[in-house]
Amino acid sequence: LLASGGHTAIVKVLDYEHIELIAQSRDDACGEAFDKVARVLGLPYPGGPEIQKLAREGKPVYNMPEPKSSGLDDLYFSYSGLKTFVINLVHNLEQKGEKIPRADIAASFQKCAVSQLVDTLEKVIRATGIKDVAVAGGVSANEELRRRFDELAAKGCNVHYP
C-alpha cells in the first residue's frame, strides 16, 4: 500500500521487475486530502500530523462519504468527495455563524480516510490470499492507520512499515 501526498495505490509486487497495479486513486491522493482538509481547518502544513493531533481531542461524530467499489475488478480510492464534504461542512457552519468543531471534524475525516485505505486493502487480502503487506508513504505514519493495521495483523496478516 502506497499512501502519500502524491499517490494512493495498492500494488502487488511479484518480484523486482514485475509489479501489478491493483487499485489507485481516481482523483486526490490520501495525503493530499489530509493537507487540504488541514488547511480548511486552519492547521499548518503538512496536514497529516496536524489532523492526527487534533483528532485525538475529538470524536468521529460526522458521517462522511466513502466511495463504494463494486468488486475486485473495480477497486479504487477517491478522496475528492471526502475533501469537498469537509470544505462544504466548514463553509456551511461558518455561514450560519456556528462554532467549527474542528477536533470532531478532524476525527471524522481521519476515520473515514483511513477506513477507505484499510477496507480496500482488506478486500484485496481476502480475494488474493496475500499475507504480507508493506505500507509506504507519509500517510503510513498515521497512528489511526497503524492501529487499524494492527487489527489486520491480529487476523494473520504480516504488516511491514518503513
Q: Is the pLDDT of residue 129 over 80?
A: yes
Average pLDDT of the chain is 95
Model confidence pLDDT, tens digit, residues 77-119: 999 999 999 999 999 999 999 999 999 999 999 999 999 999 9
Do residues 14 and 4 touch, judged by C-beta distance below 8 A?
A: no
Phi, psi (deg, nearest 5) at residue 136: -135, 165
Do residues 38 and 90 touch, judged by C-beta distance below 8 A?
A: no
User: So what's the pLDDT on residue 70?
Assistant: 66
Model confidence pLDDT, tens digit, residues 51-79: 999 999 999 999 999 887 767 778 999 99
| C-alpha 143, offset from chain centre | 12
Q: Percentage of the chain with pLDDT > 70? A: 98
- Cis before residue 101, ω within 30 degrees of 0? no
Give residues with Cβ within 8 angstroms of 126, minimum separation 6: none
Q: Where are the beta strands (DSSP E) in the chain?
A: 2-3, 8-15, 18-24, 132-134, 158-160
State pTM to two decimals: 0.95
Domains (ranges, CATH) in the chain? 2-160 (3.30.420.40)
91 grid coordinates: 463553509
Do residues 106 and 41 touch, judged by C-beta distance below 8 A?
A: yes
Do residues 28 and 67 touch, judged by C-beta distance below 8 A?
A: no
Q: Percentage of the chain with pLDDT > 90? A: 91
Report the distance separating Cα 152 and Cα 103, nearest Å: 27
